[in-house]
Amino acid sequence: MLAHEPSGPAPRLLSVVGAKGGVGATTVAVNLAVALSQFGQRVVLVDADLRGPNVDTLCQLDDGDSLVEVLAGQRSVHEVLRRGPAGVQVLPGKWSAGEPVECSPAAQERLIEELRGLGSHADVVILDVGSGVCPRVRRFLAASQAMALVTTPDNVAVMDAYASIKVLASESSPWVGTLVNFALSGEQAADAAGRIALCCRRFLGREIDDAGWVPVDPAVKVSGNEGKPHVVALPDCSATRAMQRMAAHVVSTVLSEPAAVAVG
């Protein structure tokens, strides 16, 4: 492609962030990507969690090139993308334990520019960025139009969610939504989301969207053990219905606005 040749509307970048480790952010990212694909969206899913990449497991991808080669400049995004469940295109992040991963600001910016240039292939790029407020996560969020923060009703997770927004809000996208995972009831989830929203409104002057909640559902563990997204493996379970509601919310709040035109 020639420099400055228009490539059409750039895909929306939506980063999925965990308030802390163990809140199920990767499971949410994978199932959200699948649900959006089932809604007719063209989806690219990027495993950008350098501390614990495992999107490939849930998408049943074999060994091959990954984000490592893209960050190192050895492969392009197009060369590494692989077909995942429900037509989702996956950029896996698998590498060996202890293997050094090049993620300098220049390498990360090169990756982001390639993702922005996928307009002819994708409507939305879901980035599973893990948890924490390190510079790598901040750079992904600064490039994203939306941030979905996954938490649980646990008090520590709720406090970590607010702390993450406090650090990241000035650099993150215009849309920030919370998803309460592993909730025992809608009331419990609403309480957790409400506490986060109240703190953000009172102390940060920022409105936070309630993107939904996912109930405790044994089906999630069952499908995970089988290496399948529950949205595909168990379409009628309560967790799947919850992810479909979140996907519909994302379509109406994040993907319905006119997109910018990418230049590549």
d(CA 43, CA 35): 10
Q: For residue 225, tell me if it sits in a domain.
A: yes
pLDDT of residue 174: 79
Cβ burial of 106 (10 Å; 0-12, 13-18, 19+) is exposed
pLDDT in tens, 1-55: 334 444 568 999 999 999 999 999 999 999 999 999 999 999 999 999 987 778 9
Residues 6+ apart with CB under 8 A from 212: 179, 180, 242, 245, 246, 249
Instruction: Give the angle 212-214-219 at the CA atoms, nearest 5°.
Output: 155
pLDDT in tens, 200-254: 999 998 999 999 999 999 999 999 888 899 999 999 999 999 999 999 999 999 9
pLDDT of residue 258: 57
DSSP string, 165-210: HHHHTTTS-SEEEEEEEEESSHHHHHHHHHHHHHHIIIII----EE
Q: For residue 263, tell me if it sits in a domain.
A: no
- The single-letter DSSP state of residue 153 is S
d(CA 72, CA 231): 33
DSSP-based three-state secondary structure for 141: helix
Location of structure tokens 């969020």 = 141
Cβ burial of 194 (10 Å; 0-12, 13-18, 19+) is middle
We report the CATH number of the domain holding residue 15 as 3.40.50.300
Tokens of 158: 């709720």
pLDDT of residue 4: 41
Q: For residue 1, tell me if it sits in a domain.
A: no
Q: For residue 2, tell me if it sits in a domain.
A: no
- Which residue, 31, 26, 45, 23, is CA-closest to 247? 31
pLDDT of residue 264: 41
Contact (Cβ atoms closer than 8 angstroms) between residue 175 and residue 254? yes
pLDDT of residue 263: 41
pLDDT in tens, 77-109: 999 999 999 999 999 987 655 555 668 999 999
Mean pLDDT score of the chain: 89
pLDDT of residue 1: 36
- The single-letter DSSP state of residue 121 is T
pLDDT in tens, 146-162: 999 999 999 999 999 99
Q: For residue 264, tell me if it sits in a domain.
A: no
No. of helices (H) and no. of strands (E), the chain: 11, 10
Q: How many domains does the chain have?
A: 1
d(CA 107, CA 115): 13
d(CA 117, CA 126): 14
Q: For residue 65, tell me if it sits in a domain.
A: yes
d(CA 17, CA 30): 12
Q: For residue 180, tell me if it sits in a domain.
A: yes
d(CA 219, CA 226): 11
Question: What number is the average pLDDT over the span 173-190?
Answer: 94
What percent of the chain clears pLDDT 70, i.e. is strictly above it? Answer: 89
Contact (Cβ atoms closer than 8 angstroms) between residue 44 and residue 70? no
pLDDT in tens, 114-133: 999 999 999 999 999 998 88
Where in the sequence is the domain holding 75, given as residue range(s)?
8-256
Q: For residue 262, tell me if it sits in a domain.
A: no
pLDDT at 194 over 90: yes
DSSP-based three-state secondary structure for 43: strand
